[in-house]
Structure 1
């Protein structure tokens, strides 16, 4: 089922914006915490894990920022490739989704 998010309840969009903003704040705090860790234990595995956590957190912040921007611009819930509405179930699972499933599959190659 596809929905036009622009035509849905404005309260739902406001709640989504609030949830994304809260997640943004949490991820920002996590990134700050990870970048402030200066203790080098000499364990290459620990350094690798920290680097991976930093990368994932930064990617999460990029995705949240993009979703908030699309909401502000009125483009949220539409596929960036074909312009079709992104199904509600996909947006519930991935609020930062930029593409419908067929376009995402083509994008991933």
Structure 2
């Protein structure tokens, strides 16, 4: 039997999965558009930066979706502590808790 807290948590995770999937699809479309040849060599540097940022976003989103599917979402990859939901709501692709993230830099 599930408790109200468990069902609330599951709904949040389901909603998050939907949002991340939609974001992934949107970023994939954006990347396809960005990689189309514009023919303007003056925009090459800007185009390259946008492509790199979009690819990074896709990697972060797909990583979060993979962790959701594997049941590892919200667990710090360094210390295995739970990442606070507040942090995940702000940064859904967070892989580390705040103390471990600070040690990364």
Fold shared by both chains (TM-score > 0.5): yes
Higher RCO, 1 or 2 (CA under 8 Å, sep at least 6)? 1
Q: What TM-score results when the alignment is normalised by the length of structure 2?
A: 0.89
The alignment's C-alpha RMSD in Å is 1.5
Where does structure 1 lack aligned partners over 5 or more consecutive residues?
Answer: 1-5
> 1-side partners of 2:72 and 2:7: how far apart?
12
1:1-109 counterparts in 2 under 5 A?
Answer: 9-36=9-36, 38-43=37-42, 46-108=43-105
Count of aligned residue pairs for this structure pair: 100
> CA shift at 1:98, angstroms?
0.1
Name 1:3's counterpart in structure 2.
none
Mapped to 2, the partners of 1:94 and 1:28 lie a distance apart of: 19
Unmatched runs of 5 consecutive residues or more in structure 2: 1-5
